[in-house]
């Protein structure tokens, strides 16, 4: 009888533990996605190709050239294609939509608020991100604060890395999304 | 004795299960609210009634007319009345405050970052939302990422639907908030 | 034997309870931080000291004076020093980066979207906030929707209070961050 109770106790412990897959010290993502998105900033001449536009700027700046002082004060609105690899011309699996804000005067940093809207054979739903982006750091982490559809109620961390940067018009970000709360 | 242990086992299972009301496949909200909010965009002539204003726009656009190209690049700041039914003139139970960003050049989509600040006999507290809004879709889901007061630490999904749309000045949104994490 | 089972039952109950430290009615934070940040708005003359700038404004307003009507429609981008006490000149332990939006025409309220980027001997990581700020209320709560580094996946509530306010150029906020989900 004691053996049964000990077994039961152990079984209960497993139940309780497994109910919190991510709440231990060595966290393993319950889901992971690696995606790329591509941003082409409107500069007054590339209206056909541009996927984003400067819509706010500090005093003295304009909306076709990123502001001086590390673009401090620029808000850029974007609707960028998301691809499965690092090729801008690969078939998009969704759109990255939202804004970034250049928010430091003495280095490049941004604040990000955006969503991935995925619509492919593999994924249907949206993923919502916010966070600080210290652009000059090789990889930086932002928060995945929620999701819908296939990503219903998900939370996690997205590690972003700048994969390419051409002048002040094009950049590509690699986004490694690790979900730690899946539903 | 074995019967007691089995009963105990079953009881434990119930305890563990009920501790995660939303963590199963068939999710039931722990709380639900249906509310409406009403947005009247400032157009240069309706200062007395307007509840929102265009505050950023792409190059060449202005702040009293929504931009061409599906309003791409407009940021609108709002402080809109929230009502319990779809009537703009019903007594407000709170304010919807924040911003929306038109973020696509070839269709109407927006990115939303806003809060419901509720102050009525029924509810006191705030609910915070972010997400992508593909406006032309009948119902679309955004994330409820947190709350305060009566909605302390809550998370969930808000399903929004455009209930009315008059020219480019007035719209009404129905917001069906389903909380899946209540505290 | 029955005694063992009752004991086991009680033990299980403890396990289940302790697995949800914050899910009961009396919530205790699993971590708490009190920090201050300092905002100096650019007014056209203080370029050297300013830590923030007006980057968007409603029709008729400009970018060096906060708009009339309770600054309704102004978006301010900031990169503010964070200190451990209320002294602007204390050594900063990080930066508060993001934006605030004045969003009411008949009182002072703001919508906040920002991050704390901490980099000190005590803390390394970021904390992400959004929420409504009814500025005239003594203390107000916003959501901590995520974190990275030392604050990996954390959620909580931040209670903010205006500690100082000088004209329309400087203010200091006290931020009492209570985490209720720690990992």
> Tens digits of per-residue pLDDT, C88-129?
999 999 999 999 999 999 999 999 999 999 999 999 999 999
- Do residue A146 and residue B155 have CB atoms under 8 angstroms apart? yes
Listed residue (C54, C85, C70, C82) closest to C136, CA to CA? C70
pLDDT in tens, A54-98: 999 999 999 999 998 999 999 999 999 999 999 999 999 999 999
For residues A1-17, average pLDDT: 53
Mean pLDDT of chain A: 90
Compute φ and ψ for B6, nearest 5 degrees: -65, -45
Q: A110 forms bridges with which residues in the sheet?
A: A102, A133
Using DSSP bridges, classify how beta strands C170-181 and C31-40 pair: parallel, antiparallel or unpaired: antiparallel
* Mean pLDDT over the full length of chain B: 90
pLDDT at position A169 = 92
Are residues B113 and C103, on separate chains, in Cβ contact within 8 Å? no
Helix (H) or strand (E) holding C156: strand C155-166
Distance CA A90, CA C58 (A): 40
Identify the three-state secondary structure at position B15: helix
Cβ atoms of C173 and C163 within 8 Å: the answer is: yes
In whole angstroms, give the CA distance from residue A86 to residue C57.
Answer: 37
Give percent above pLDDT 70 in chain B: 86
The DSSP element (H or E) to which C55 belongs, if any, is strand C52-56
Strand ranges in B16-169 using DSSP code E only, listed in sequence order: 31-40, 52-56, 75-83, 94-102, 110-119, 124-133, 139-149, 155-166
Q: Which chains touch A (3 or more CB pairs under 8 A)?
A: B, C
Q: Which member of C56, C132, C144 has the closest CB to residue B56?
A: C56
Residue B51 has pLDDT above 60, yes or no: yes
- pLDDT score recorded for residue A178: 98
pLDDT of residue B22: 43
For chain B, which chains pass the contact test of at least 3 CB pairs under 8 Å? A, C
Give contacts of C130 with chain A, Cβ < 8 Å. 130
* pLDDT at residue B24 in the model: 45
B147·C142 Cβ contact <8 A: no
Q: For residue C18, what pLDDT is reported?
A: 47
Full 3-state SS string of chain A: CHHHHHHHHHHHHHHHHHCCCCCCCCCCCCEEEEEEEEEEECCCCCCCCCCEEEEECCCCCCCCCCCCCCCCCCEEEEEEEEECCCCCCCCCCEEEEEEEEECCCCCCCEEEEEEEEEECCCCEEEEEEEEEECCCCCEEEEEEEEEEECCCCCEEEEEEEEEEEECCCEEEEEEEEEEEECC
Is pLDDT of A26 > 90? no
Low-confidence winner among A8-12, B133-137, C127-131 (lowest mean pLDDT): A8-12
Q: Which residue of A has its CA nearest to C17?
A: A16
pLDDT (0 to 100) of residue B85: 96
Assess whether pLDDT exceeds 70 at residue B38. Answer: yes
B-interface mutation test, from A8, A153, A179, most B Cβ less than 10 A away = A153
pLDDT value at residue C23: 45
Q: What is the separation of C-alpha C19 from the centre of its chain, rounded to a whole number of angstroms?
A: 27
Please give the Cα distance from C84 to C174 (Å, whole number): 10
Tokens read off for B136: 């032309």
Instruction: Give the number of A-C residue pairs with CB atoms closer than 8 Å.
Output: 120
Flag the least confident range among A6-10, B130-134, B147-151, C59-63: A6-10
- DSSP secondary structure of C92-155: P-EEEEEEEEE--SSS--EEEEEEEEEESSS-EEEEEEEEEE-TTSSEEEEEEEEEEETTTT-E
Say if CB B69 and CB B49 are below 8 A apart: no
Return the structure tokens found at A121: 């054979």
3-state DSSP of A157-180:
EEEEEEEEEECCCEEEEEEEEEEE
Query: How large is the average pLDDT for residues A161-179?
Result: 94
Q: By CA distance, what is C62's nearest residue in A?
A: A59
pLDDT over 90 percentage in chain A: 83
Give the DSSP letter of residue B122.
Answer: S
ipTM score for this prediction: 0.85
Q: What is the mean pLDDT of residues B47-76?
A: 94
3-state DSSP assignment of residue C36: strand
Residue B5: per-residue pLDDT: 53
- DSSP code of B41? B
Residue reference for tokens 């900033």: A41
Q: What is the mean pLDDT of the segment spanning B125-151?
A: 98
Residues of chain A found within 8 Å of residue B58, distances taken between Cβ atoms: 42, 53-55, 63, 77
Q: Which residues, at least 6 apart from A82, have a Cβ–Cβ distance to it below 8 Å?
A: A35, A36, A37, A92, A93, A94, A95, A96, A116, A118
Q: Cβ(B145)–Cβ(C128) under 8 Å? A: no
Task: Report whether B94 contacts B84 (CB < 8 A).
Answer: no
Q: Is the pLDDT confidence value at A25 over 80?
A: no
Q: Is A153 on the interface with C (CB under 8 A)?
A: no
Extract the residue ranges of chain C whose pLDDT is less than 50: 14, 16-24
pTM confidence score: 0.87
Whether pLDDT at A22 is above 50 = no
CB distance A141–C126 less than 8 Å?
Answer: yes
Instruction: Give B176→chain C minimum CA distance, Å.
Output: 19
Q: Given this model, what pLDDT does residue A168 score?
A: 83
Chain B, window 8-37: residues with a beta carbon less than 8 angstroms from a chain A beta carbon: 8-9, 12-13, 16, 19-20, 22-23, 27
Chain A CB within 8 Å of residue B3 CB: no
Residue A5 has pLDDT above 90, yes or no: no
pLDDT at B168: 83
Query: C111: which chain B residues are within 8 Å (Cβ-Cβ)?
Result: 77, 97-99, 113-115
A136 vs C: CB within 8 A? no
Whether B84 and chain A come into contact, CB under 8 Å, resolves to: no
- Of the candidates B160, A146, B22, A103, the residue with the CA atom closest to the CA atom of residue C113: A103
The secondary structure of chain C in percent helix, strand, coil, rounded to multiples of 5, reads: 10, 50, 40
Q: Would the CB atoms of B148 and C142 count as touching at under 8 Å?
A: yes
Q: What is the pLDDT of residue B23?
A: 45
- Whether residues A79 and B130 touch (CB distance < 8 A) is answered with no
pLDDT for the residue numbered B3: 58
Chain C neighbors of B80, CB-CB under 8 A: none
Could you give the CA distance from residue C95 to residue C113 in angstroms, rounded to a whole number? Answer: 14
């Amino acid at each position: 009888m004691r053996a049964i109770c000990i077994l039961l106790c152990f079984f209960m412990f497993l139940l309780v533990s497994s109910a919190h897959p991510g709440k231990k010290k060595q966290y393993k993502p319950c889901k992971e996605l690696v995606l790329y998105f591509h941003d082409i900033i409107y500069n007054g001449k590339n209206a056909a190709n541009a996927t984003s536009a400067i819509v706010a700027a500090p005093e003295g700046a304009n909306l076709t050239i990123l502001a001086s002082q590390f673009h401090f004060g620029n808000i850029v609105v974007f609707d960028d294609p998301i691809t499965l690899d690092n090729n801008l011309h690969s078939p998009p699996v969704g759109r990255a939509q939202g804004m970034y804000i250049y928010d430091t005067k003495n280095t490049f940093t941004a604040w990000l608020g955006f969503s991935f809207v995925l619509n492919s054979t593999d994924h249907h739903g949206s993923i919502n991100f916010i966070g600080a982006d210290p652009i000059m750091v090789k990889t930086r982490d932002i928060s995945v604060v929620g999701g819908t559809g296939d990503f219903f109620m998900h939370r996690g961390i997205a590690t972003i890395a700048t994969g390419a940067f051409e002048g002040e018009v094009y950049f590509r970000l690699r986004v490694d999304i690790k979900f730690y709360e899946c539903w």
